[in-house]
Amino acid sequence: MNLERMPNEEKLSLCRRYYLGGFAFLPFLWLVNVLWFFKEAFLKPAYTEQPQIKSYIKKSAMGLILWVAVLTTWITIFQHFRARWGEVGDYLSFTIPLGTA
């Protein structure tokens, strides 16, 4: 989809749909939103829908950063402590590596 050829109202509705969709535990939609519409929101000359697009991008970015922080923390903790957790660690794991603790 080429944003150049879309009228501004459609751009706004697309941005909004991606923003709302990200709330369904889909942070990648927010990532795509931010990357795709960044130029539109901040680097293009102003047009009527731009402030709303800007706010959606900013909120998507905040949500994205929150998700990244939570996931990074959990993954680090899990990788570090899984062996020490014994039974709980095994029940939480999808694949358990062979031959190591």
Partner 1 sequence: MGFKLYDSMSRVMCVSAAAGVLSSSVEQKIYVELNETVPCVRLLNATHQIGCQSSISGDTGVLHVLETESDLDWILSSGPHPPYMVIMETAFFNRSVMMRMKNSSRVAGVAVIVSKTGLADNFSPHTTCPNQNTGVYSASYGSDLANCNVTMWNPLGNGLSYEDFAFPVFALKDENQTQVIRKCYQDHNLRVNGSAPQYPLCAMQLFSHMHAATDTVTCMRRTDLQNRFSINPEVLCDPLSDFNVWTSTRPLNNSAKGHAANESVVIAATRLDGRSFFWEQAPSAEGTVSGIVTLLATIQALSPVTQEAPPPRNIFFSFFQGEAFDYIGSSKMVYDMERNDFVIDLNNVHSMLEIGQVGLRRGRSLWMHSDPVSRQNKSVDTESAAAGLNLTVDQPSVSQPLPPSSFQRFLRVRGIPGLVLADHNTSFNNRYYESLYDDAENLNVTYPPDLSPDEQLVYETDAAKSLAEVATLVARSLYIQAGGEKKNLNNITADPKIWFLHQHVSDCVRLLWFLGSGPPQFYIGLGPRIHGPVHSVTRFVQYILANLTGTVTNLTESQCQNPSEVNTENKDLFSYFWVSGPASVNNTGEPFCRSASVRLSKAVSPAFELLEYGSPNYSIIPQSRWKSIRARIFPMLTLGVGVAVLLLSLLVTYFISSKAELLFSSARETPATTY
Rounded to the nearest whole angstrom, what is the least distance from the CB of residue 79 to partner 1 in the complex? 16
Size of the site for partner 1 (CB under 8 A): 9
Q: How many residues does the chain have?
A: 101
3-class secondary-structure state, position 22:
coil
Rounded to the nearest whole angstrom, what is the least distance from the CB of residue 80 to partner 1 in the complex? 17
Three-state DSSP string of 30-97: HHHHHHHHHHHHHHCCCCCCHHHHHHHHHHHHHHHHHHHHHHHHHHHHHHHHCHHHCHHHHHHCCCCC
Binding mask 52-91 for partner 1 (x = CB under 8 A): ----------------------------------xx--xx
Rounded to the nearest whole angstrom, what is the least distance from the CB of residue 84 to partner 1 in the complex? 11
Q: Which is nearer to partner 1, 48 or 100 (CB)?
A: 100
Q: Which is nearer to partner 1, 55 or 93 (CB)?
A: 93
Residues ≥6 apart with Cβ < 8 Å to 27: 63, 64, 67, 68
Which residues sit at the interface with partner 1, rule CB under 8 A?
86-87, 90-91, 96, 98-101
